[in-house]
Amino acid sequence: MASQGGKSEGSSSIEIENSNSCLVTSVRGMIDVVPPISPDHCIYRAPHGVRQLNEKAFTPRKVSIGPLHHGKENLLPMEEQKLRYLRAFLDRTKLSLEECIRFVRGLEQRVRNCYVESVNLSSDDEFVKMILVDSSFIIEVIWRYNFSMQQNETDYLSTPVSLVDVIRRDMILLENQIPHFVIAGLFNLAFPHLPKTGELSFIQLSINYHFRSASRHDIPQTSSNLEVKHFVDLLRLCYLPSTLGSLPLNRVEFVTIPTARDLQEVGLSIRKGSSSNKHDIQYAEGVLTIPQFGVDDDSEFELRNLIAFEMCHCPSDSYIIDYVIFMGTLMDTAQDVDILVQDKIFESLLYDCASVATLFHNLTLGVVWFPGNYYYRGLCQNVNAYCKVPWNKWKAI
């Protein structure tokens, strides 16, 4: 019996089956072209929640490194300078251009796997060319800094000093990275006589460049076992606490610390620590010891990019985020910061106390954070236990 539309039930079923079959083919095709998630992923765009609060902190001003900002109009003037540095790199190392291209092309897929976003350039050749040009540029910049090259007057990067600082800042932005292994590999190919560890290793030369001196903090043991993803990861490794204990997960309670002013009122002493690693905060017997730290023009850029990297790459080991949250809680107001200034823990010629408190507060906005592994939890628990003893407050009066 025919249906009301004049079509038999059988023909309707066939049409539905054909439609389903077409849909299956379509969805299957979509699934097949989606690349698998690579375990090599380590270069990300900053999460929207933190990027929108200060887009300048994640956006290169003068030079693009890698594909995420490649080709942007305001960054094109530096492309010519990159080519000059590639020529200087080839002249210095006596490598042939063919050798360099062969080396980079051999790592092409591995480099692509490091980017969470698919890299869309006009061709594979364009990608290889970009990685080679950017890698040689970075090597030249770091080499000239470390070995005080006598730069001629036509060197675009030799003056002004402010441009040098902008380039250095651009090179530590999360979205402006290429994998460390390809830069270090090209460096080792170019300078095979230099050791892969120690003072003349590429890792150590990079640390010297980014921190302007190796004495700013304790340098991690630079060895072939140190797996550096890129320059943001290198900064994070340098900033990690000297002891990395694994904490039991606590999914219920987030333990915080009172402000510096509140601690002072209960008689707890805050003193400057001797460690050059600012994350080595210690507490014992009524004394909170905090290594000296400062805030300069680069601090917000560094911290925002480190925070974004931890959110994307290692959310369960977020030591930098933990530090920012700890210090932000301790320095809730200008009065709290002033206490640290008086104790010579904090110093800055550029920021007043209120600005520092605001900076650390703003750094935590938009941060997705897992408190279960909070590095300073045990310390906070011990401090809170001290504050709850009435006798300690009476002694302070």
**Span 168-194, mean pLDDT?**
96
Contact 350, 297 (CB under 8 A): yes
- Residue scoring higher pLDDT (387 or 150): 387
Q: In whole numbers, what is the pLDDT of the chain averaged over residues?
A: 87
What's the Cα-to-Cα distance from 122 to each of 65, 67, 95, 119, 346, rounded to whole Å?
A: 17, 12, 27, 10, 50
Q: What is the pLDDT of residue 390?
A: 79
Strand partners, 43: 115
Please state the separation of Cα 318 from the chain's center in Å: 11
- pLDDT at residue 304, as a whole number: 97
Task: Tell me how far apart the alpha carbons of residues 232 and 55 are, in angstroms, rounded to a whole number.
Answer: 17
d(CA 22, CA 1): 28
Measure the CA angle with vertex 195, ends 191 and 197; round to 5°: 130
Mean pLDDT calculated for residue range 146-159: 62
CA-CA distance, 201 to 198, in Å (whole number)? 6
The structure's pTM equals 0.87
The Cα 94–Cα 192 span in angstroms is: 12
State yes or no: pLDDT of 234 exceeds 50: yes
Domain regions of the chain by residue span: 1-34, 48-239, 260-396
Secondary structure of residue 332 in the 3-state scheme: coil
Q: What pLDDT sits at residue 12?
A: 75
Q: Which two tokens stand for residue 300?
A: 């917000």
- How large is the average pLDDT for residues 124-146? 96
Answer whether residue 18 shows pLDDT above 70. yes
Q: Note the helical H segments in the chain.
A: 9-33, 48-51, 77-93, 97-106, 108-113, 124-146, 161-170, 180-190, 202-211, 231-239, 260-265, 299-313, 319-330, 334-342, 353-363, 377-387, 390-396
Check: CB of residue 328 under 8 Å from CB of residue 314: no
Tokens, residue 378: 């045990």
Higher pLDDT, 229 or 13: 229
Using one digit for the tens of pLDDT, what is the confidence trace for 200-226? 889 999 999 998 754 444 455 543 456
Give yes or no for residue 352 having a pLDDT over 50: yes
Q: What does the pLDDT read at residue 254?
A: 79
